[in-house]
Chains A and B, each alone.
Chain A
């Protein structure tokens, strides 16, 4: 523990230093999915998304173009968007630089030498009603005017400017585009909400507003993610807290859990930032698996009463989890390496925290009413029937699940990662339809300068930035062509129009790298990326051999990203599995398959179920298999290392906590987290179920090993006797059969389990009420018991009708309920008082003085509730000695098996009468020497015992077990006779009588006094007689 604390302190200090060091330059987390890809692809995609035209736009749709412009103006004003372009101002700015600006059509005609045609067209424009856009002094042929008019169609075919906004008309509907590239996420979300509301409400002229572009999707995703994270985190924390409380029935686990999780995350974050200056957000998201594993460590440590008691399985769990994630450290994708480092560092911290925590006292898993659940049961003692059903059911489930593997689909489709909401999807679809830009291909032109890129674009025939601002080279060519036009047609044109040709064209050229007009600058920015390169949409059929032109489809690139991640993760998963198998082989040697197969099968079943449910396996769901292996091995290790009910309960609650934490992800709106949540939920479920199944060989091996138990008890031997009794019992229903030969009445395994279920969840009162109809059912079939009761009453001289007999039998059933409660869960202990007489006072004095006592009980009343008297005494400050009780185990084996399964052996140790030997006497003498009680029933002859004593009882000669009284004699301890009779619905009274005789008294004398005491008690409380055989047969 000390070493663990030191190491943990060192790790926390290291993490603090690392975080402080990084904090100097800021602690940044990379949220971009593109960072998961190779440098080349990341660069291209980042540059593409940084381009203005791909950021965000709004598409307005309506029947009236003017109304759209008004609406657009209002939106720009209300949301502070960029105002409509001022075309006149742009023309004024480029007028002095329009020397080389010629439309493509005019250039083509000039290149062909069709100067006449160009001149005529210019004249027709001049003679028309429209004014020239540029001064005719420098541009008599109105070529720059023609260029300005062609700008609109060059930018996007079919689009024109309307009020400064790109607009078009399709199928009688007008469309208008607004640029929203400067929006923050919050502003984009507000704009989207406004647009949705506008569409939902009835608008005049059918006006619709759509949002398109990455900024809206990012904003929407961020908003939803924020909401879901808050909701799911709260739900997850509440579930973990609730489950922890249900397990421990107190909040004392909470501080340790909080510290463990906090320390784990702190150390993990420190390790991550120490090695990665800007880790990816996915590493932290994936690191939430830490919560599940930290919860497991804390639960198991507390359940065992201290981590030291489960140090070995904890260490095994840590080792296997580390081996699971270790191969990811060698992934070629940085995010996977980060995930591995984060998880592994956090796991080590959580483990050390569990070890370093001070041992908890009394904080162990509880029963349903909060009482400590110190129950012991070895796995081999589970009823054979239940084990078979579990095995068959599990096998069928596994078989069905694995059949789904044939339907498994592996997907690299980006839509598996993100799917837009209906509104945004409709907006993107609408924009595609209107803009008629199919294909989705992007061309990147890698020129050394912007001018070079423009020239490459012009040569390739692409319509991008060069369609708006030609390269300087082209502009010079155009200027030369215009000069030729003037030389060829100048005179005729002047004669026709009266416009003189300029002597010298003083205009300059428009340089795309140095535009001053805001509108043109915006246009240039939408095409240009860093370093002089430009990008643009390109037609589907475009092909180029120029190495400086890179054409790619973003969708395909993203798909390749996921493909690469998937293959990398699957390779690493195979390595991880092999490493894990080797580790298990090292740890468990020949039994490693018992640990490996549940996890392997769970993974296969999960994959199969994904096939059935149509959940494709992607790179993200594949990462879930790492988590599944880690947690699944936890369940197997703990279930197999310590198969007691405490541990199984702890494993169950660990599983439920993890299920709550991961399973909630299945309810998010994001496809990727939804599929991960479903995968993890299925995987954890199968891992847990399969971890509970044991092979027969393992079961036999465990039966040879004593269960983990700080307080020795005879329960294992007791249960073995029950087993053999069940196997060897002859089904005798004869009344005259010996008591131990009689079969239990209506004590079927499932009936017992049902009764236990009623008791456990509804209480003793409900159980007793249930006894009434059960007894009514049993009564007609309990002929032997009825006859025995009648004979008893006959001996007493009391007439016993059916009703008295029925009440007698019912009283016995209630006594069994009281006995069960007193010795197991203690949900409703009866009020036990002691008759205030010499016997009780003597008994109490001896107990208080720390002396051991030999107690001879009987089957009159319910001696088992006597410990309730002890609880009352303890509550009053008295001493409660430990009790060694002897019982014949083989008789009522079915009841005893159920009884022993839940028996609380903290105050009583049951010994089988069948096991009494020399060593038993020595052991009991030692117990008496310690001040403990030894209790035996003196009114039943052991099965198969021929040693009996005879003594009259109720006027009849009866046989009594010699061994009990002989045993009492050799104990050399005070001997008391005790009965505990029912005095009310939930009340008993204990009667004590001391044997009057010295230590050298004979067995006969002890018996005689005992029989007298018993007779006296029997006559007083005949309904408490619990012998249902012919007691008086000689």
Chain B
């Protein structure tokens, strides 16, 4: 049920996170403010996601954890209010909700956060992506969608 757009955006986000942390490598974590070479091999932490739906003026907040292994996998686990798990690898990604898993092949190789949103499936819906700091592992990500919706993510390692 949580098919493509959700999974893909999560993947894009994961890659954005990875690339923000590692400007050159695939999925590597790097200290903030440094280039890709400074991305750590592993990183894990928590996130708070706020999704603002423009047409109903409602903000939905979810929390969860993330786990990163450079060049191997990226796991985005939403804990509350509705649990779900997103897992991305260099060749595919999976989305698990209510015990139901959806897997799709997705191959991408991006160096910078901006390139994440060049993935064709999500590109048309995304207006802009901003990360703070711009290089290295991001502490904050803001994604603005063309329909006016907005996504604010805060990550802590």
- Residue numbers of A with Cβ under 8 A of B are 65-66, 69, 87-88, 103, 105-106, 117, 120-133, 135-137, 145-146, 149-150, 152-153, 160-163, 169, 496-500
Please give the distance in Å from B59's CB to the nearest CB on chain A. 8
B82 touches A123 (CB 8 A): yes
B2 touches A162 (CB 8 A): no
Within 8 A of A (CB), among B43-83: 49, 51, 53, 55-56, 58-60, 62, 76, 78, 81-83
- Bound Cα distance A499, B52 (Å): 12
Tell me, in angstroms, the Cα distance from A161 to B100 when the chains sit together: 23
Number of residues from B at the complex interface, CB < 8 A: 45
Check A88/B125 contact, CB under 8 A, given A124-B78, A124-B97, A129-B51: yes
Q: Report yes or no: B98 in contact with A124, Cβ–Cβ below 8 A.
A: yes
What are the residues of chain A within 8 A of B20 when measuring CB–CB? none
CB-nearest residue of chain A to B64: A127
| B41 sits at the interface (CB 8 A) | no
B84 and A128 contacting across the interface, CB-CB below 8 Å: yes
Which residues of A have CB within 8 Å of B1?
A: 103, 105-106, 121-122, 124-125, 146
Let me know if B105 is at the binding interface, CB within 8 A: yes
Question: Which B residues have a C-beta under 8 Å from some C-beta of A?
Answer: 1-10, 13, 49, 51, 53, 55-56, 58-60, 62, 76, 78, 81-84, 86, 97-98, 100, 104-105, 107, 118, 120-121, 124-125, 143, 145-147, 149, 151, 153
Taking each of B1, B2, B143, which has the highest tally of chain A beta carbons within 10 Å of its own beta carbon?
Answer: B1
Nearest CB of A to B7, in Å: 8
Contacts A106-B1, A120-B98, A161-B121 given: A130-B9 contact, CB under 8 Å? yes
CB-CB nearest in chain B for A500: B56
Tell me if A117 and B98 are in contact (CB < 8 A): yes
| Cβ-closest chain B residue relative to A150 | B3
Q: Would you mind naming 28 contact pairs between A and B with Cβ atoms under 8 Å apart?
A: A65-B107, A66-B120, A87-B124, A88-B146, A117-B98, A121-B2, A122-B1, A124-B82, A124-B83, A125-B1, A125-B2, A126-B51, A128-B86, A129-B10, A129-B151, A131-B9, A131-B125, A136-B53, A136-B58, A145-B5, A150-B3, A153-B3, A160-B4, A169-B107, A496-B82, A497-B60, A499-B56, A500-B56
Tell whether, in the assembled complex, residue A128 and residue B98 are in contact, meaning their CB atoms are under 8 Å apart: no
Cα of A65 to Cα of B121 in the assembled complex, Å: 11
Determine if A128 and B81 form an interchain contact, defined as CB atoms under 8 angstroms apart.
no
| Contacts A121-B2, A129-B143 known; 19 new A-B pairs at CB < 8 A | A66-B120, A121-B97, A124-B1, A125-B1, A126-B60, A127-B51, A127-B81, A128-B6, A128-B10, A128-B62, A128-B78, A129-B10, A129-B49, A130-B5, A130-B8, A130-B10, A153-B3, A160-B104, A499-B53
Question: Shortest distance in angstroms between B15's beta carbon and chain A's nearest beta carbon?
Answer: 12
**Complexed CA–CA distance, A137 and B104 (Å):** 30
When distances are taken between beta carbons in the complex, the residues of chain B under 8 Å from A161 are: 121
Give the complex CA separation of A163 and B118 in angstroms. 10
User: Are A169 and B78 in contact (CB-based, < 8 A)?
Assistant: no
Report the Cα distance A125→B5, complex, angstroms.
10
Residues of A within 8 A of B5 (CB): 130-131, 133, 145, 149
Which of chain B's residues has its CB closest to A160's CB? B4
- For the complex formed, measure the closest distance between the CB of A975 and the CB atoms of chain B, giving whole angstroms: 116
Q: Complex: how many Å from CA A149 to CA B146?
A: 18
Whether the pair A152, B4 counts as a contact (CB closer than 8 A) is yes
Residues on the B chain within 8 Å of A149, using CB: 3-5
* Cβ-closest chain B residue relative to A122: B1
Selected from A88, A127, A137, the residue in CB contact (under 8 A) with B78 is A127
Which residues of A are found within 8 Å of B81, using beta-carbon distances? 123, 127, 496
Residues of B within 8 A of A135 (CB): 55-56
- B49's nearest neighbour on chain A, judged by CB, is A129
CA–CA, A930 to B55, complex, Å? Answer: 126
Contact B84 A124 (CB under 8 A): yes
Inter-chain contact B60/A498, CB cutoff 8 Å: yes
B118 surroundings in chain A (CB, below 8 A): 66
How many Å lie between the Cα of A161 and that of B120 in the bound state? 9
CB atoms of A132 and B120 under 8 A apart: no
| Cα(A152)–Cα(B3), bound, Å | 11
Q: Hey, which chain B residues are within 8 Å of A130, CB to CB? A: 2, 5-10
- Closest-by-CB residue of A relative to B62 is A127
9 cross-chain pairs, A with B, having the tightest CB-CB distances, nearest first: A130-B6, A149-B3, A127-B62, A130-B9, A121-B1, A124-B97, A130-B5, A123-B82, A124-B84
Give A823 to B124 CA distance when docked, in angstroms.
Answer: 98
Q: Complex formed: what's the CA distance from A106 to B143 in Å? A: 29
* Known contacts A128-B6, A128-B84, A163 near B120 by CB under 8 Å: yes
Q: Which residues of B contact A127 (CB under 8 A)?
A: 49, 51, 60, 62, 78, 81-82, 84
Q: Are A499 and B58 in contact (CB under 8 A)?
A: yes
A27 to B121, CA, bound (A): 52
Closest B residue to A161 by beta carbon equals: B121
Q: A65-B107, A124-B2, A136-B53 are in contact. Are A131 and B10 (CB under 8 A)?
A: no
Q: Given the complex of chains A and B, what is the CA–CA distance between A88 and B146 in angstroms?
A: 10
Chain A nearest CB from B154 CB (Å) reads 13
B143 partner residues in chain A, CB cutoff 8 A: 129
Tell me the bound Cα distance from A499 to B149 in angstroms: 14
Chain A hits for B147, CB < 8 A: 131
Contacts of A162 in B (CB 8 A): 120-121
Distance from A727 Cβ to chain B, minimum over Cβ atoms (Å)? 96
Q: How far is the CA of A150 from the CA of B1 in the complex (A)?
A: 9
When the two chains form their complex, are residues B58 and A131 in contact, meaning their CB atoms are under 8 A apart?
no
Could you say which residues of chain A place their CB within 8 Å of the CB of B49? 127, 129
Provide the residues of chain A in CB contact with B55, threshold 8 Å. 135-137
Q: Is the CB of B125 within 8 A of A121?
A: no
B residues near A88, Cβ cutoff 8 Å:
124-125, 146
Q: Would B3 and A132 count as touching, CB distance under 8 A? A: no
B58-A498 in contact (CB<8A): yes
| CB-based nearest B residue for A86 | B124
CA distance A153 to B147 in the complex (A): 25
A153 to chain B, nearest CB (A): 8
Given the complex, which residues of A lie within 8 Å of B97, measured CB to CB?
A: 120-121, 124-125
Nearest CB of chain A from residue B18's CB, rounded to whole Å: 15
Q: Are A131 and B56 neighbours in the complex by a CB distance under 8 Å?
A: no
